[in-house]
């Protein structure tokens, strides 16, 4: 099974990721209050963390107390 992406597909993914980062780089009010030296780097980090939590919801529930188990 070939898991490599075609160059056009990778460019589309890169563009989508860039768009997500650009949108998230607009600071929230509480982030504006404390400022950010590099909003785009901050956005990339926030989105990477979010993506990781989304890919592993069970692990997220085990590691983070703010993520409730179903039925709580």
pLDDT digits (tens, 9 = 90+) for 8-60: 666 766 888 889 889 888 888 998 899 889 999 999 999 999 999 889 988 88
Q: Would you state the pLDDT for residue 34?
A: 92
Q: Would you state the pLDDT for residue 63?
A: 83
The DSSP output letter for 30 is H
68 pLDDT exceeds 50? yes
Q: Which carries the bigger pLDDT value, residue 43 or residue 70?
A: 43
Q: In this structure, are residues 42 and 25 in contact, taking their beta carbons and an 8 Å threshold?
A: yes
Q: Would you state the pLDDT for residue 64?
A: 77
- Side-chain half-sphere exposure of 59, counting CA atoms within 13 A: 8
Full 3-state SS string of the chain: CCCCCCHHHHHHHHHHHHHHHHHHCCCCHHHHHHCCCCHHHHHHHHHHHHHHHHHCHHHHHHHCCCCCCCCC
């Amino acid at each position: 099974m070939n898991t490599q992406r075609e160059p056009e597909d990778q460019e589309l993914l890169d563009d989508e990721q860039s768009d997500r980062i650009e949108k998230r780089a607009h600071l929230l009010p509480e982030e504006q209050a404390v400022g950010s030296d590099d909003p785009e780097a901050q956005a990339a980090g926030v989105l990477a963390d979010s993506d990781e939590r989304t890919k592993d919801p069970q692990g997220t529930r085990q590691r983070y107390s703010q993520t409730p188990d179903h039925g709580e």
